[in-house]
Amino acid sequence: MIKIAPSIIASDFTRLGEQAQEAVAGGADWLHLDVMDGHFVPNITFGPLVVKAVRSVTDITLDIHLMIEQPERYLEEFAHAGANRMTVHVETCPHLHRTVQQIKELGCRAGVTLNPATPLSVLTEILPEVDLVLVMSVNPGFGGQSYIPASTAKIARLRAMLDAIGSPAELEVDGGINVETIAEAAQAGVSVVVAGSAVFRGEASIGENIRQLREACDC
Ligand code: DX5
Ligand code: ZN
C-alpha cells in the first residue's frame, strides 16, 4: 500500500487546522510540511510554530521537508514542535552523516532528499543510515508545478539501490503527483507520495481527492 502524504502548503491557511484534520479523516497516512527559508529555495513558508500548531490538532505522522540552509541549526526546535520525520537536502548538508545522526538522536526518523539534477551517487555512503529517501520530482520551492518525467527512471534506480542493500527505508516522491502521475511513480517503486495541489485544490473534497489518487494507482 502506497502512503499518501498531503502537503499542507497547498491547503487554505486561513483554515489550516480544519484542513489538516480533514486530510487525516480523508485517509492521509502522513502530513507533509514544507519548510522553506527563501535562501536554499526562493520561497519562504513557515517554521516550528506551524509544526506545533498542526501537531496540536492531530497525532498523524508529521513529515517535515527542510528546504533550508544549515538545517542542523533547527532540528531540535522542529523535533520539540512535534516532527516525527525530518528530511534534509543533501545539497545543504556538508556534514550529512552527522546531521542524520542528530535527527535520530532527537527521536525522529531521518530522511535525505535530492534535487532533480543531483545524482543518486551522492547517497552511496549514507544510504544504510537513513529511514527515508525523498526524490524531488519538481525543482523545490513551490507547489502546483509539473512532474519532471525523468523522475520515474530515477525512482526505479533508487529502488534498485535500496533493494541491493536490503534497506527498509521509505522511498518518497515529491512534486507534481496527481491522478495522471501517481501510477508511474508507484510502479517505479515509491512507498510514499507527497501530494499538495492534487489533494487540497480543485472542486472535489480532500477525502475524494485522496480516494481518487489511490484509485489512480490502485494503491
Ligand atoms: C515543493 C515541495 C512539495 C510541493 C508539493 O518544493 O517540496 O512538497 O509542496 O506540491 P504539489 O503536489 O502541488 O506539487
Ligand atoms: Zn515537500
Per-residue pLDDT of the chain (219 residues; tens, 9 = 90+): 899 999 999 999 999 999 999 999 999 999 999 999 999 999 999 999 999 999 999 999 999 999 999 999 999 999 999 999 999 999 999 999 999 999 999 999 999 999 999 999 999 999 999 999 999 999 999 999 999 999 999 999 999 999 999 999 999 999 999 999 999 999 999 999 999 999 999 889 999 999 999 999 987
Residue spans of alpha helices (H) in 114-218:
151-164, 182-188, 197-200, 206-217
Closest ligand (CA of 200): 1
**Catalytic residue at 218?**
no
Catalytic residue status for 34: yes
Q: Are 176 and 138 in contact (CB under 8 A)?
A: yes
Could you tell me the end-to-end alpha-carbon distance of the chain, in angstroms, rounded to an integer?
Answer: 5
Quick one: how far is CA 81 from the chain centroid?
A: 17
- Measured CA to CA, the distance from residue 164 to residue 46 in angstroms comes to 37
Whether 181 lines ligand 1, by a CB cut-off of 6 Å, is no
